[in-house]
Structures are given as structure tokens and as C-alpha cells.
Amino acid sequence: MRIAVFNQKGGVGKTTTALNLAAAIVREGGTPLVLDLDPQCHLSGIHGNVPKDSGHSLFGFYQSSRGLDELAVPWEGIGRLVPSHQQLIKIDATFGKGPAILNRLRVGLDAVDAAVPGNAAQATLIDCCPYLGVLALNAVFACDVLLIPISTDYLSLQAAEQMTRTLSILEPVLKRRVERRYLLTRYDSRRRMSGDVQNRLRSSYGDEVCETVISENVAVAESPSRNRDVFSHNPTSRGAQDYAALYHELKQLRFL
Ligand SMILES: Nc1ncnc2c1ncn2[C@@H]1O[C@H](COP(=O)(O)OP(=O)(O)OP(=O)(O)O)[C@@H](O)[C@H]1O
Ligand SMILES: [Mg+2]
């Protein structure tokens, strides 16, 4: 299954979630393919290897039709990464928004899945940029489910409404409802605001809000600076427990 981690709001925990969910999958025996579809290259930076040559990144996939399998690099504890490059910022201007480009990533991922023996689709995670352009649209068109991190503050509730409006505009083009789950991140039980935001999100979106809540956690915040996921940084931390719980919830929902 393909999970795109997307919210048009910045800094809500998209990259953190892609990183730690990938690590949770590896700990359960999987080898996810992780795409860094953000020209900010945050995930590739945590890997410690943003390619110098843009052709070795997702830019090479869009610009020169290089295969995603060919571009993927191993990442111990995370699976395989198709890295980003700053040049990805040019994709909007270069390719516009025709139907062929919107489906480009889906077609590329279909080719990856087709090459797996027995055609068994592997878990794919897509870390998106915080704006709706060709790249994020590619992720929405390619994914089976959109995971929408909502950091626990009031502005994030507006961002959730914005995401819902965006998806309702896209659905007639896609000719299907976009399956989605909202994920509360940076939850701090000591703050009344966290409880308020959670209640309002659950009353607006019901079952589409993950039961799992990701707590504000030092190990989660620290681990990227050590080029690590939260499990290898501190396996007993609250953050590791939360991301393991998210894995099991998504597994039960058959998104993994
Ligand atoms: N559960 C958490 N506990 C503590 N810090 C967190 C948690 N989740 C995310 N952070 C921190 O919040 C900041 C933003 O997180 P992250 O980079 O994952 O957001 P993002 O949505 O990917 O941002 P962008 O929109 O810029 O891509 C980072 O410094 C990250 O370490
Ligand atoms: Mg990010």
C-alpha cells in the first residue's frame, strides 16, 4: 500500500511521521520504499546523503524518466530511500499540470510494484512538501491513503479544513474519494489546548482521525539530528511507542 504524508501546513510532523513509520515497518520485517518528495530535502538530509547530482534524485525520475528502483538507495533501519534535490522546485514550472504529469508518480510506482516477485505491492511512504503543486498532487494521485498530520494547535484545525476543501476539489478529477486519516502530532496532555484540538478534530472527522496520537516527545525531536529514527535513538521512549502504535493501527486498517 502507498501512504502519502501530506498537509499544506508546514512543520506539522510530515517528515517525522514518514521517517518513524518507515522505521516501525522495518522493525516488523518490512522493507518500505520511502520517497522524499520535498525540495527542502529534510528526509534526505536525515539520511545524510542529499545527492549532488540532481539526476540521482527524484528530479531524475521527472526530468530523465529514470526508474524509481534505480534511484533508490538503501537506508539501514528505514528501508530504501529515493532522495530529493532542491531542483525539484522546478517541477511545477517545467511540467505544468496536465493529466500525464499528475499520474506520473503513480505510473512510476506501478512499475516498481510490477518488478516485485509475485507482484506483491510493498509498503511505500511519500513525504510531501507543505504546498499543493505538481509534486503533492502526484502524491495524492499515487497513494492509497493520505495521512494528514495535524499538530496540536488551533491553527492546525484551520489547516485540516483547508485540506478537506482541497481534497473535495480534487475528487471529481480523481473520480474517487481520497481515503484519508488525520493524525494528531505533538500532543501534550498537560496543555488544555491539546485536549480541545483533539475533541474538535474527532467531532469534525470522526473515524477518519487515527486513534493513535503522537505525543510531544524529546526523543522524536532529537533523533533526526543524530541521523536516526526514534526507535534506534531511544526504543523505550514515548515517541517510539506512539509510532509503533500507529503502525499497528494502520496495519489493522489494511493500509500496511
Ligand atoms: N512528536 C514530536 N515531538 C517533538 N517534536 C516533534 C514531534 N514531531 C515533530 N517534531 C518537530 O517539529 C518540527 C517539524 O517537524 P517535521 O519536520 O516533521 O514537520 P514537516 O511537516 O515535515 O515540516 P515541513 O512542512 O517543513 O516539511 C521538527 O523540528 C521536528 O523534530
Ligand atoms: Mg517535512
What residue segments make up the domains of the chain, in order of their start?
Answer: 2-252
Q: Which residues surround ligand 2, an ion (CB under 5 A)?
A: 14-15, 42
Of the options 3.90.950.10, 3.40.50.720, 3.40.50.150, 3.40.50.300, the CATH number for the domain spanning 2-252: 3.40.50.300
In this prediction, residue 93 has a pLDDT band, given cuts at 50, 70 and 90, of confident
Tens of pLDDT, residues 202-227:
999 999 999 999 999 999 999 999 99
**Which ligand is located closest to the Cα atom of residue 17?**
1
Tens of pLDDT, residues 11-21:
999 999 999 99
For atom 30 of ligand 1, the residue with the nearest CA is 221
Q: Is 220 in the pocket of ligand 1 (CB under 6 A)?
A: yes
Task: Kindly give, in sequence order, each residue whose CB lies less than 8 Å from that of residue 122, ignoring residues fewer than 6 positions away.
Answer: 30, 31, 32, 33, 112, 113, 116
Cα torsion through 129, 155, 208, 164, rounded to 10: -70
Tens of pLDDT, residues 71-87:
999 999 999 999 999 99
- Residue 41 gets the label, from left (phi > 0), alpha (psi -120 to 50) or beta, of left
Q: What value, to the nearest 5°, has the Cα angle with vertex 12 and ends 11 and 15?
A: 80
Q: 67 burial class (0-12, 13-18, 19+ CB within 10 angstroms)?
A: middle
In three state form, how does the secondary structure of 81-107 look?
A: EECCCHHHHHHHHHHCCCHHHHCHHHH
Q: Is the pLDDT of residue 4 over 80?
A: yes
Amino acid 244: pLDDT? 98
Residue 72 phi/psi, 5-degree rounding, is -70, 135
What is the three-class DSSP state of 51? coil
* Predicted TM-score (pTM) of this structure: 0.97
Please provide the average confidence, as pLDDT, over all residues in the chain. Answer: 95
In this prediction, residue 119 has a pLDDT band, given cuts at 50, 70 and 90, of low
Amino acid 179: pLDDT? 97
